[in-house]
Chain A
Amino acid sequence: MATETSTPDPFAVLGLEPRFDLERQALEERFRERSREVHPDRFVGAPAAARTQALISTRALNDAYQVLRHPQRRAEVLLAQHGVVIGDREVLEPAFLAEILELREELADARVAGDLATVTRLAGVMRARQRALLDQVAAQFARVAAGATDALAAIKRDLITLRYVDRYLDECDAATDDE
């Protein structure tokens, strides 16, 4: 089994205040600024050690950016900073698992039948659900900021749910790629 190894705080790497409701534009601008400072292209004529340093700094920057621009991964980092970690064998309500299992079967059938309309419809439904869950996560983080630490458990549950949702959407993408 694979587990993610801890990485440096991506907010710190980008010099941003840790928060869930990050402005996409602000994040992108900061990323470009930092890239301009540390990118290996700027150190080509420099000694080997400086080039290595540029490579390492840029790698750290790119990895941090990759995490922060993805809302779920950003949320997981914030959650971890509050001491709440999502493990590999987290359990969800049996009702949700049964539902997702059924939806996956429906998707698998549509995929085998080459029924793209159904795949698109299922993906649309799941995407709406993804948006709703992310809105919910944002609202809960606002509560955490206001001191309601009980919201952390709700966020954790939503993030685990989102993993299933993401996986499902990946499968939808794979099905559309079959075309």
Chain B
Amino acid sequence: MLLQISEPGESAAKAACKQRVVGIDLGTTNSLVAVVADGSPGVLGGDGGPIVPSVVSYDGPQPLVGRAAIARGERHAVDTVASVKRLMGRALGDVGAVVALSPNQLVDDAGRMVKVRFSDGAERSPVQVSAAILAELKARAEAALGGPLDGAVITVPAYFDDAQRQATRDAGRLAGLEVLRLLAEPTAAALAYGLDRGTRGTYAIYDLGGGTFDISILTLVDGVFEVRATGGDSALGGDDLDRAIVGAVIGDAGFASADAQGIRAAVAEARAAKERLTDADATAVRMVVAGRVFERTLTRAELAAIVAPLLERTAKACRRALKDAGFTAAELDGVVLVGGSTRSPVVRDFVRAQFDREPMCELDPEEVVALGAAVQADVLAGGTSDVVLLDVVPLSLGLETMGGVVEKLIVRNSTIPCGATQTFTTYADNQTGFDLHVLQGERETVEACRSLARFQLRGVPPMVAGAARVEITFQVDADGILHVAARELTSGIAAAIDVTPSYGLTDEEVERMLIESFEHAEDDLAARNLRIERVEAERILAATRAAMVSDAHLLDDDVRVATDAAIAVLEAAHAGADYLAIRAAVEALDRASKPFAERRMNLAITAAMAGKRLATVEEELSR
């Protein structure tokens, strides 16, 4: 860990060169890409408008995406994947309801992330399918902007847990995107609205998309967007409304005889009927499933009754979010509608009744998330710098303790990035290892929470029970992704940690997929990795040397010796062609210089927090 102290404000100048960055709304049903041009965000169009349906159809190695995939799906339902977002970061056991109605063959991968099996026998993970959608959006943006992208902000439902966020980031990497930030969809929507009007106040963002529901309470003050609370249901959206309509029309008997093709057509007809009811009070519905014809007239009131139980689930999440944020519905300054499903008058009536006010919908609810993501991408690329987003952890993070109870280290709605450290002691004599189980969720028991990862901490020296102390550190980064570290405090011996993500992909897996997807460009990939690692090595070498000169008084002799040695190793690796060796050497240098970096860091924090320039503090310390 290295430190280059810079005064706030310096960064803007450094990033002045304008980059090609975009905002991507990777939706359950539809995806969009947007960019800020001349200070205002706009969606990038293509054949058939800005919306790319989130549908991928595989015919050999090259997938079709969007409308072409939908067209192919009519004849090849099994090889066509829709609503893949609902599978992201999920095991087969988690997606029961989706499986029941999915025309795809979903297969278990030893309890890890579910895979889709295609008719040619190939199995692909939801990450790969999502990456195909992202690659399509990337290509569209690059064509529009006339060159390769420098980075993208990808939105995720605020309620996405760690596994789902990781899967999304992995999909971005797999699509060859530099993911600048994962941004919560409601926050993106607020950003799109807030900048347009320079508002100040507290808003609820009601986001009912194709497959997810989010509710967030945000406070906007002087360019700071603070998420006060967030909640929702990552498996509830317009798709469910459509399926509820299908259920009401064809009944249990219809389902029993349904085939993949029939269900797909029926769901499409349900969606069309729902859309027709936006303007009409009643519409004729006709579904043909396995040769049987189901016909009826559907009124708007009947639609409201059909979807009422689903909307009531959103109301419950709204009440909890308001409670968490410490606001009542009456205290809000507005309610913003986001997501294609909020076009429906049935949904609007419901929101109006819940919050007792007219909801805001000036911006297109289907575009607003992508627009906000573009704004944030522009902010991050240095276009503007007076906006700060303070997002939160949507679900508490904790560890399993004795008796299957979850001990929360980070509570939900903590502002990110954040961290927590807790020390555990051994419970048996001569215990040499710890099994650590990381969980996410609000319930007290392990079974009711989501398993994120299992760690093994080994190499603890044998001692009597309670003598060995293990410090566990949770850190959540600005993307909302958790990093866990563990170390044994009494021994001073570095203990080994094995990480087995329960749902996410390991780095090796992402790497392997990357290699597979660039099968004919393996050498290019290695070369690219080598270039990246070399640049990073050069940066770290320069920064370390500069720091060793400027802050020599903070450098102990033994740390200096270790750092010098690590520098020599890194220089040797840098001259070679093995990017993994360079990466390892960079990490080794980080470790060697850590005590030094920490001293500089503490000094810097003291300085930053006291609002003084660093030089002043150093002066005071050296007196």
Give the B-binding residues of A (Cβ under 8 A). Answer: 1-5, 7-8, 12-15, 32, 34-50, 52-53, 55-63, 65-66, 170-171, 174, 177, 179
Give chain B nearest CB distance to A107 CB in angstroms. Answer: 13
Task: Compute how far the CA of A134 lies from the CA of B259 in the bound complex, rounded to whole angstroms.
Answer: 62
Determine, out of B53-61, B416-424, B556-564, the stretch whose residues face the partner at the interface: B416-424
State the majority secondary structure of interface residues on B.
mixed
Central interface residue in B1, B385, B609, by most chain A CB within 10 Å: B609
Give chain B nearest CB distance to A140 CB in angstroms. Answer: 25
What range describes how many residues of B lie at the interface?
Answer: 35 or more
Central interface residue in A8, A37, A59, by most chain B CB within 10 Å: A59
Q: Which residue of A lies closest to B221 (CB)?
A: A32
A66 touches B414 (CB 8 A): yes
B388 touches A45 (CB 8 A): no
Asked whether A60 and B605 contact (CB < 8 A) given A15-B611, A52-B1, the answer is: yes
Is B540's beta carbon under 8 Å from chain A? yes
B418 touches A66 (CB 8 A): yes
A41 touches B540 (CB 8 A): no
A36 touches B388 (CB 8 A): yes
Asked whether A42 and B8 contact (CB < 8 A) given A5-B423, A48-B539, A63-B418, the answer is: yes
Q: Which residue of A lies closest to B422 (CB)?
A: A2
Task: Compute how far the CA of A35 lies from the CA of B9 in the bound complex, rounded to whole angstroms.
Answer: 13
Is B144's beta carbon under 8 Å from chain A? no
Within 8 Å CB of A39, what residues of B?
388, 390
What are 22 A-B interface contacts by the 8 Å CB criterion?
A1-B427, A2-B407, A4-B423, A12-B609, A13-B609, A32-B222, A37-B608, A41-B478, A44-B380, A47-B14, A48-B539, A52-B1, A53-B3, A53-B604, A57-B605, A59-B417, A60-B605, A62-B418, A63-B418, A66-B418, A174-B444, A177-B443
Within 8 Å CB of A5, what residues of B?
421-423, 471
Other than the given A2-B424, A57-B608, A66-B411, 11 more pairs (CB < 8 A) read: A2-B407, A3-B423, A32-B226, A41-B379, A50-B5, A50-B10, A53-B3, A53-B4, A61-B609, A174-B442, A174-B444
A34 touches B382 (CB 8 A): no
Give the A-binding residues of B (Cβ under 8 A). Answer: 1-6, 8-12, 14-16, 180, 221-224, 226, 316, 320, 379-382, 385, 387-390, 401, 407, 411, 414-425, 427, 442-444, 466, 471, 475, 477-478, 536, 539-540, 543, 601, 604-605, 608-611
B382 touches A47 (CB 8 A): no
B442 touches A49 (CB 8 A): no
Within 8 Å CB of B543, what residues of A?
47-49
State the majority secondary structure of interface residues on A.
helix
Within 8 Å CB of B10, what residues of A?
46, 50
Give chain B nearest CB distance to A171 CB in angstroms. Answer: 8
Q: Kindly list the 10 A-B residue pairs having the minimum CB-CB distance in the complex, ordered from nearest.
A: A45-B15, A49-B4, A46-B11, A44-B380, A62-B415, A62-B418, A49-B2, A45-B382, A32-B224, A5-B421
- The one of B387, B536, B601 in contact with A41, judged by C-beta atoms closer than 8 angstroms, is B387
